[in-house]
């Protein structure tokens, strides 16, 4: 199944001529999972051609404007484009009031239903083949980091083993391939009898705004891709401490300890027009670092 990250906004509190405020779309098969909705992100969403009427979840890390002010405009844009599928929204409890109050104030008539769930840490979303977990971040207001974790996939299917056990090709093979045991001629054929070892799914981490800390090292352990804020250079460490953000060095040290495969820096202060200097700082610690740009698209391959 395809797993793709599309960056719809990569700036911090102040947008620039080339960077919207924070928003990341994770496209997984026919579903879209959006993390944060900074102001004006719907323009890049339209440019991405993701599609207006797909299964959709929206997860908000915290209630700062550069992460949530675009939500109302995005919801309205979807409605004006004829969306009729429901949207599930997750975030801190004040997000519910923010949505409901502004919908009344602006007389927003949406063409679809919204379902809200408060985030309090732990498992936020539980689907058949993936889950999304939340971990309390360390910021100036209550905030969360998120981890999208695919569940293990069945091992490689060996047709010759199925044939040897008398399983005819067709529907029963399909069930075995998907990890389901079957009964044939009164005998149980286990999926493990005809498949190899289970294969690990992919892991994608989204930091939101936070100070890098040991708790997040454990939370993001072995991520295939970690998107982590790098608002400042280490030369501006005092500013990072005051605003409770991370420097590029902080982020790289966390990613290195966590064994992250690819580190993607984002949430850049507008003072850094050239983000290569942040990548250079992080790359001195972690071996695989890139800087996010608006409309950057990253395919996440399976581990094997």
Catalytic residues: 66
Residues 6+ apart with CB under 8 A from 288: 261, 262, 263
113 Rama sector, left if φ>0, alpha if ψ -120 to 50, beta otherwise: beta
Closest by CA to 179, choosing from 194, 168, 162, is: 194
The SS3 of residue 67 is: helix
The answer to whether 143 and 137 have CB atoms below 8 angstroms apart is yes
Residue ranges in the chain assigned as alpha helix (H):
41-48, 65-68, 71-80, 94-105, 159-164, 171-177, 191-194, 214-219, 237-243, 248-258, 276-283
* Secondary element (H or E) of residue 24: strand 23-28
* Secondary element (H or E) of residue 298: strand 297-299
Q: Which residue has the tokens 């056990």?
A: 165
The SS3 of residue 145 is: strand
The answer to whether 60 and 91 have CB atoms below 8 angstroms apart is yes
């Amino acid at each position: 199944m395809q797993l793709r990250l599309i960056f719809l906004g990569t700036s911090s509190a102040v947008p620039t001529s080339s960077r919207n405020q924070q928003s990341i779309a994770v496209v997984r098969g026919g579903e879209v999972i959006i993390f944060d909705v900074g102001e004006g992100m719907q323009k890049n969403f339209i440019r991405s051609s993701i599609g207006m009427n797909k299964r959709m979840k929206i997860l908000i890390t915290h209630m700062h404007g550069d992460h949530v002010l675009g939500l109302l405009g995005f919801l309205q844009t979807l409605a004006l484009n004829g969306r009729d599928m429901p949207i599930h929204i997750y975030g801190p409890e004040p997000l519910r009031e923010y949505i409901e109050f502004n919908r009344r104030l602006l007389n927003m008539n949406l063409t679809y239903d919204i379902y809200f769930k408060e985030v309090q840490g732990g498992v936020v979303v539980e689907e058949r083949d993936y889950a999304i977990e939340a971990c309390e971040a360390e910021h100036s207001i209550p905030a969360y980091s998120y981890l999208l974790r695919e569940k293990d996939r069945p091992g490689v299917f060996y047709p010759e083993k199925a044939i040897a056990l008398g399983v005819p090709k067709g529907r029963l093979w399909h069930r075995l391939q998907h990890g389901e045991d079957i009964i044939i001629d009164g005998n149980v054929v286990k999926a493990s009898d005809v498949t190899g070892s289970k294969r690990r799914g992919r892991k994608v981490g989204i930091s939101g705004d936070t100070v890098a800390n040991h708790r997040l090292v454990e939370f993001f352990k072995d991520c295939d891709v970690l998107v982590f804020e790098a608002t400042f250079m280490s030369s501006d460490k005092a500013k990072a401490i005051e605003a409770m953000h991370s420097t590029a060095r902080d982020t790289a040290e966390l990613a290195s300890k966590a064994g992250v495969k690819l580190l993607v820096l984002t949430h850049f202060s507008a003072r850094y027009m050239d983000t290569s200097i942040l990548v250079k700082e992080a790359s001195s610690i972690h071996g695989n670092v890139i800087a996010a740009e608006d409309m950057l698209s990253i395919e996440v391959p399976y581990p094997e």
